Amino acid sequence: MLDDRKLAVLRAIVEDYVSTEEPVGSKALVDRHQLGVSPATVRNDMAALEEEGFIAQPHTSAGRIPTDKGYRLFVDRLTTLQPLSPPERRAISTFLEGAVDLDDVVRRSVRILAQLTRQVAIVQYPSLIRSTVRHVELVTLSPTRLLLVLITSSGRVEQRVIETQLPVGEGIVSDLRSRLNSATLGQRLPDAANRLGDIVDTFPIADRPVVSVVVTTLVEAVSDERSDERVAVGGTANLMRFGDDFDTSIRPVLEALEEHVVLLRLLGEATSPRALTVRIGHEVPYDELSTTSVIAAAYGMDESLATLGVVGPTRMDYPGTMAAVRAVARYVSRTLSTS
């Protein structure tokens, strides 16, 4: 049904359409590719491919363009990922190494990804449910104000200011500080939250109100680690290359990019590292974005797993983009694990 030549024709159609952005006809095909057959033969193959739903024509008697199903076949069976060029790899590597902290890694990742793919890049902040407590610090700012700082193994710092009803003595503070640390140090965040429950009872009744509010705040900070619900976006200017159809293709994307919840759904659940997810057209979980494709990859080690990717028109350079996304995911993983 789909012999080798038909597949070759499909590949040629996808490649030409991606580069020219215009429906491709039988004659143009044989001119640009060495198919070894005549346009008429290609036309027959095209008719078959259209019959199967892999390509379509915008109007009668225009060239063909790939359908979502066609892209899907292309990606699944006709694509071989080539590694990036050494200069590109080096660029990613050195650019990411310049990062000073976690935020900076994310920002730089977005930037390099957008630049490499010339698409809109999205990077989810590393999930921290699997990260551990590195340090808890409790500082007296004033007699009735405490500052609580939580530092996690992923390098993230959370800080809360706590107002207390009554002045707090320095003795309690240092006592509390050491107990908080010994209870949570090295624990994963959810475990740490559980461990904190019992601490309050170990203090004299008189101190419990203060201790209680501190512990509650810490538990909150530990569980409220919703950093994995944050995303960074970049390369919006690349939207311009989408085409000229303003309202139907660009507006919804721009709107989606503002809604981080939407972006998170677009990226999808982080699966195992190195896995590459490609969603094409209607496979994307938003109807408004049915003319776009999303290519995402999980990154990070088991300690901090998250997703990054790009979103672009269904008419995109899949092999190149996939290779770039995969490469960036790998380098980001490496950067995170060595910092």
Binding site for DNA (CB under 7 A): 5, 23-28, 36-41, 43-44, 46-47, 50, 57, 59-64
What is the phi/psi pair of residue 230, to 5°? -105, 145
Site stretch for a second copy (CB under 8 A), options 2-10, 60-68, 195-203, 232-240: 232-240
Residue 335 Cα distances to 36, 57, 94, 301, angstroms: 48, 46, 10, 10
Q: Which two tokens stand for residue 270?
A: 């982080």
Site stretch for a second copy (CB under 8 A), options 10-18, 40-48, 80-88, 136-144: 136-144
Residue 24 C-beta: closest distance to DNA, Å: 6
DSSP symbol at 248: I
- How far does CA 83 lie from the centroid of its chain? 20
Task: Report how far residue 284's alpha carbon sits from residue 296's, in angstroms, rounded to the nearest whole number.
Answer: 12
- Looking at the Cβ atoms of 63 and 309, the one nearer to DNA is 63
- Looking at the Cβ atoms of 51 and 255, the one nearer to a second copy is 255
Residue 318 Cα distances to 37, 72, 94, 295, 330, angstroms: 27, 10, 25, 9, 18
Alpha helices in the chain (DSSP H): 4-20, 26-32, 39-52, 68-77, 86-97, 102-117, 170-184, 189-196, 208-223, 251-258, 260-267, 318-337
Residues in the chain: 339
Find which of DNA, a second copy, none residue 27 binds, CB within 5 to 8 Å per kind: DNA
Find which of a second copy, DNA, none residue 159 binds, CB within 5 to 8 Å per kind: a second copy
Site string for a second copy, 10-49 (x = CB under 8 A): ----------------------------------------
- Looking at the Cβ atoms of 23 and 281, the one nearer to DNA is 23
Which one of 4, 170, 244, 287 is in contact with a second copy (CB under 8 A)?
A: 244
- Looking at the Cβ atoms of 75 and 110, the one nearer to a second copy is 110
- Looking at the Cβ atoms of 32 and 179, the one nearer to DNA is 32
Write the CB contacts of 317 (distance below 8 Å, at least 6 apart in sequence). 18
- Contacts with a second copy by CB under 8 A lie at 100-101, 134-135, 137, 139, 141, 147, 149, 151, 155, 157-161, 234-237, 239-240, 244, 246-247, 250-251, 254-255, 257-258, 339
